[in-house]
Amino acid sequence: MPRGEQPMVPDAEFESYYGRPILKEPTWKTPDVPLYLFLGGLAGGSALLAEGAALTGRPALERVARLAAAGGAGAGTVFLVHDLGRPERFLKMLRVFKPTSPLSVGSFILAPFSGLATAAAGSLVTGWFPRLGRLCGVAAAAFGPPLATYTAALLANTAVPAWHEAHRELPFVFGGSGAAAAGGLAMALAPCAESAPAVRMAALGAGVELAASTAMERRLGMLAEPYREGMPGRLTRVARGLTVGALALTAADTAMAATGRRSRVLRALAGTAFVAGSVTLRFAVFEAGRASARDPKYTVVPQRERARARGERKQSGALG
Amino acid sequence: MSFSPTSLFGRLDDVQSDAGYAEDHPPRKGFFTDTSVCIGCKACEVACKEWNHVPDDGYLLTGMSYDNTQALGASSWRHVAFVERPLDVAVTGFEAPPPPVDLGMPAVGPAHGEDQAASSGDSGVRWLMSSDVCKHCTHAACLDVCPTGALFRTEFGTVVVQPDVCNGCGYCVPACPYGVIDLRKDDGRAFKCTLCYDRLKEGQTPACAQACPTESIQFGDLDELHERADRRVAELHEKGVDVARLYGRDPEDGVGGDGAFFLLLDEPEVYGLPPDPVVTTRDIGSIWKHVGAAAAGLLVLGATSFTSRHLVPRFLSTSLGRRR
């Protein structure tokens, strides 16, 4: 534990092999993988926003969101491929389809999403095949929510205690965070006259993210420590500060808009804070998982507790 | 490939059939590592390295014990753990060694008959040595999460990586509940024990078991090894060694039992093993259900952003008001 921090609960007694970790720390590189988690959320949310903008006749918002969806998916794919130990073999991902592997399922979400979002954005920018482009946009919007949330399954379907035990809430944390990022980016880049739905998406997404994070930490109990302590703890606090700050700026922006005055700067500032909060959150969750894998305490103590509870249930069953 | 309710979790008696092998597949092979007779010679580590051409994984003196291998990894497929514990006869059933016999030889230092351990205040040390290896789980998380199909179940029921398919995504690494498999940094791909798949195909014993001088590492049909292990643990209990217990033997445990299981003389975590491992994919149904709900929620959230004009101002004023 870093200096200056007090343990929230007294350290649980446990045995280990010279304090060495039991689990292997994830080998996924940073910033590649946390950025990929963020970009997946941003792109998925943006594809939804783009289709909504197209349906409601907001061309400037549509343009920003379509480019964000295509750009996010493209950059995310680059980070994902770069993270591989053998990047030249990235196509091996599409060799089989395995529902037990979120990375396999995710590849089959990311690949069509990237293609469709790129086609939709390309059609919009060039003006070629507008109908086909729009159709691609609709399909991309269908793949958007899965793209923004499957990354939670990617982390949760591991033996890493702080990720696995969070599997019920993490998809909502990531989904909310993705909406906040997509809404936030559009708030920052689209004109005020068209970005009202982006404001709503960002604010609602941030609300979902904060509520789900709170529920997650409550359920995790001792396993919430890695999210609160040390470097991941600091990241969690920064992420939360940015998201709450963005909500406060959005409230001010909404109040001003109600009086008929609109500040482009204020809205852009709020949007940027949403995006920054979303990025930081992914780094926080990523690092918290690594910390929980490193310390044998988080492997041994919950497993001992689980085995003890099972023994008690068996005993009471045998007696009763 | 057949999919049954116990394909992912629970008791699975014929793991090869579940993986799609025909009924006439060979019996499931495995290791029974009896740590009560391990002498810590590390012949298994060396034999494994030699046979499998496993490269050097760094020369590092830990200073913590005789164990400089430290852990299983991409380039350590057998790992001998050395644990020094104070001797407690009441707990272990092992008796302290008899005092040294004075042979009348000339010597310097403390007078003869003065027990060194006694003079340093120790009642003695108990050595625990254990040769760890990939567990070749019945429900193997590494295999379940591998997106390329590089990891596969062999006809012997073991779990093996195909190096020509692995693209180094690293998903198997945090998925393993035992921390066994890892990426080789300079190579980029994942490696682990193959239970000497090549030797098995020729009807030979894996290199580590072949080299073990005390038969601490026993190789054979898993059913037969189970019987042998049950007899051995009963024999030790009879002799008063109540601490002896089997680890990874139970086909009902969190990974459906291990293909490589152990006789231990202390709690698993003392040897660096997880006390109650569970395959992560036991929860894959719940994981996808929650992802599905969140994705549907996100779709609704998106639609709401375009349809409800008044929701967000209300939400902002209430949620921020509560926070303050």
Inter-chain CB proximity A300 and B274 less than 8 Å? yes
The fold of the B15-95+118-278 domain, in CATH, is: Alpha-Beta Plaits (3.30.70)
Sequence letter at residue B278: V
Least confident of A91-100, A286-295, B315-324: B315-324
Which of B144, B189, B288 is the closest to A86 by Cβ?
B189
Which pLDDT value is given to residue A49? 98
Q: Does B285 touch chain A (CB under 8 A)?
A: no
Which pLDDT value is given to residue A109? 98
Half-sphere exposure (Cβ direction) of A154: Cα atoms closer than 13 Å: 29
Residue A67 pLDDT > 90: yes
Residue B120 pLDDT > 90: no
Q: Residues 114..143 of A with a Cβ closer than 8 Å to B: which? A: none
The model's pTM is 0.92
- Range A119-148 average pLDDT: 97
Q: Does A21 touch chain B (CB under 8 A)?
A: yes
Chain A residues whose CB is inside 8 A of the B277 CB are: 159, 303
Q: Which domain holds residue A189?
A: 32-319
With respect to residue A199, please indicate whether it lies within any of the assigned structural domains: yes
With respect to residue A2, please indicate whether it lies within any of the assigned structural domains: no
Q: Residue A198 and residue B305: Cα distance in Å, rounded?
A: 7
Q: Does B30 touch chain A (CB under 8 A)?
A: no
Nearest CA in chain B to A89: B167
Q: What rounded mean pLDDT belongs to chain B?
A: 90
**pLDDT tens by residue, B247-288:** 999 999 999 999 999 999 999 999 999 999 999 999 999 999
**pLDDT tens by residue, B174-200:** 999 999 999 999 999 999 999 999 999
Residue A290 pLDDT > 80: yes
Which pLDDT value is given to residue A10? 53
Inter-chain CB proximity A26 and B173 less than 8 Å? yes
Chain B residues whose CB is inside 8 A of the A199 CB are: 312
Name the region of B136 (left: φ>0; alpha: ψ -120 to 50; beta: rest): left
Q: Does B106 touch chain A (CB under 8 A)?
A: no
Q: Does B141 touch chain A (CB under 8 A)?
A: yes
State whether residue B183 is helix, strand or coil: strand
Nearest CA in chain A to B150: A92
Which of A92, A170, A248 is the closest to B167 by Cβ?
A92
Residue A195 pLDDT > 70: yes
With respect to residue A265, please indicate whether it lies within any of the assigned structural domains: yes
Helix axes A264-294, A196-220, angle to 10 degrees: 20
Asked if residues B261 and B31 have their Cβ atoms less than 8 Å apart, the reply is yes
Which of A89, A103, A306 is the closest to B276 by Cβ?
A306
Q: Which of A159, A160, A45 is nearest to B294 (CA)?
A: A45
- Range A63-76 average pLDDT: 98
Which pLDDT value is given to residue B41? 97
Inter-chain CB proximity B280 and A164 less than 8 Å? yes
Chain B residues whose CB is inside 8 A of the A92 CB are: 148, 150, 165, 167
Which pLDDT value is given to residue B60? 85
Nearest CA in chain B to A93: B148
Which of B174, B269, B298 is the closest to A149 by Cβ?
B298
Note if the bond before A31 is cis, omega within 30 degrees. yes
The C-alpha angle A296, A298, A304, rounded to 5 degrees, equals 95
Sequence letter at residue B134: C
Residue B123 — pLDDT band, cuts 50, 70, 90? low
Which pLDDT value is given to residue A160? 98
Residue B69 pLDDT > 50: yes
Residue B85 — pLDDT band, cuts 50, 70, 90? confident
Q: Does B293 touch chain A (CB under 8 A)?
A: yes
With respect to residue A8, please indicate whether it lies within any of the assigned structural domains: no
| Counted domains in chain A | 1
Chain B residues whose CB is inside 8 A of the A107 CB are: 147
Which pLDDT value is given to residue B92? 59
Residue A253 pLDDT > 70: yes
CA distance A169 to chain B (A): 8
Please enumerate in sequence order all residues whose Cβ is within 8 A of that of A3, keeping only pairs 6 or more positions apart, or say none: none
Work out how many CB contacts closer than 8 A connect A with B.
Answer: 268
Q: Residues 69..98 of B with a Cβ closer than 8 Å to A: which? A: 70-71, 73, 81, 83
State whether residue A132 is helix, strand or coil: helix
Residue B89 pLDDT > 90: no
Inter-chain CB proximity A178 and B165 less than 8 Å? no
Q: Which of A152, A183, A145, A184 is nearest to A166 (CA)?
A: A152
Inter-chain CB proximity A175 and B71 less than 8 Å? no
Inter-chain CB proximity A86 and B188 less than 8 Å? yes
Asked if residues B217 and B209 have their Cβ atoms less than 8 Å apart, the reply is yes
The domain segmentation of chain B, as residue ranges, is: 15-95+118-278, 284-323
Nearest CA in chain A to B73: A24
Burial class of residue B121 (count of CB atoms within 10 Å of its CB; 0-12, 13-18, 19+) = exposed
Q: Residues 193..252 of B with a Cβ closer than 8 Å to A: which? A: none
- Range B143-150 average pLDDT: 98
Chain A residues whose CB is inside 8 A of the B294 CB are: 145, 149, 152, 171-172, 174-175
Residues counted in chain B: 324
Inter-chain CB proximity A158 and B276 less than 8 Å? no
CATH number at residue A284: 1.20.1630.10
Q: What rounded mean pLDDT belongs to chain A?
A: 95
